[in-house]
Amino acid sequence: MKIGVVGTGYVGLVTGTCFADSGNAVTCLDINADKVARLQRGEIPIYEPGLEELVVRNARAGRLRFTTDTAAAIRDAEVVFLAVGTPPAADGSADLSALWKVVESIGPHLRADAVVVTKSTVPVGTCAGIERRLKAALGRDCRVASNPEFLKEGAAIEDFQKPDRVVVGVRAAEVGEVLRSLYAPFLRTENPFLVMAPESAEMTKYVANALLATKISFINEVANLCERMEADIDDVRRGIGHDSRIGFAFLFPGAGYGGSCFPKDVQALAAMARDKGVAPRILTAVHETNRAQKQVLGEKIAAHFGGHLAGRKVAVWGLAFKPRTDDVRDAPALDLIERLLAEGAAVTVFDPEATENVRAMYGDRLAYAATPMEALDGADCLAIVTEWGDFRRPDFDEMARRMKSRTIFDGRNLYAPREMRARGFAYHAIGKAPV
């Protein structure tokens, strides 16, 4: 099948590459000429395990192309996926200005039988809006569908190729069959292909992310309570997680959630609710709880040093909002760094993949270590913000030799307090009594 993908960001690049890898002819369109040139050279602008290999292999095979030419990408495409950004506006609602520009630009080049599919996360009613705009521009009805993505950064290739479900929103059964055929290679293990109205599909994406964010904010709030009640959040988590109605997924306490999806989608769903006269009480609480949780590590550090951080050297391990990505959008590490710098601390950071993204933001306001251990030289304390595998089993003896003070603030609960006590470290975790 001939496919056009508009947008070569995280979603568009993964979508186009995986469809090409299943034998389709895919052309990815982007207005950023420098980015397209890099992709044509096989340079991947984001870090996602396994993606570079797939891009290079399918480009060499001629199944995957990159261009800035709208007509070249769209005119022969049987299916056109829209994967452009929908960032939050000032009121939390999704900004669709880029999407509407794309719809306007592709309209004149669409085949009469083409299916236009929204992969972007868009408010309920956006498919209907695309239908109206295309009809007004072209004087005919166009086939438009919703196909929300449920990719986890760091595991996006596996998620796309082995989805737990595929959701499509369509007006006509034949459009659903076009998409079912396209996804058939990824559904050989009988995972469901769910067909519904576009409005239901659009809502599904927001509700899924909002519910996962709710679980994170809930366990973080309970963790903060555990610290004051002499309870251990890990014991509590195990105690509830074995209940089949609850489970363990997304019930890990930490320094708050970040990334490109949860923060903006919770706010966008709340904005939709307000627009329809529904008070988004839970969604508002989820968002505010997470904002507060992102301050917890900074508060712990400030309290430990009696509120005097000026001149202290703080090492920070982990900058990406989660492991296996270089994405620092809304990352909790940035909240911590901002507070430490504002209070006069000297901050040295390390991350296996995200350092350059942070360097572009902070320049020489931070020091950048080449290894985790280098970041610890002369440090008054260490703050762990991202649970990279590199940090799970460090050489504690070397850490003790390098650090000025054996003090760790662990925002991801990587270590056992008993072991930290035995090794002579002051250890502050989330939802546990400090040692």
Active-site residues: which are they?
261
Tell me the two tokens of residue 123.
């408010």
Q: How far apart (Å, rounded) are the C-alpha atoms in residues 376 and 382?
A: 7
Q: What's the chain's length in residues? A: 435
> What token pair was written down for 280?
């988004």
Instruction: Give every CB contact of residue 169 below 8 A, 6+ residues apart in sequence.
Output: 127, 145, 146, 147, 195, 196, 197, 198, 199, 200, 201, 202
Burial class (CB in 10 A: 0-12, 13-18, 19+), 275: exposed
d(CA 45, CA 314): 30
Could you tell me the sign of the dihedral formed by the alpha carbons of 324, 325, 326, 330, in that order?
A: negative
Sign (positive or negative) of CA dihedral 52, 54, 57, 60: negative
d(CA 150, CA 168): 12
> 281-293 and 262-275 helices cross at what angle (nearest 10)?
150
Cross-strand pairs, 64? 26
User: Angle between the 126-138 and 97-106 helix axes, to the nearest 10 degrees?
Assistant: 40
Do strands 79-82 and 115-118 pair parallel, antiparallel, or not at all (unpaired)?
parallel
Strands of 305-385, DSSP E: 313-317, 346-350, 367-368, 381-384
Residue 314: beta bridge partners?
A: 347, 381
Which residue in 294, 274, 292 sits closest to 283, CA to CA? Answer: 274
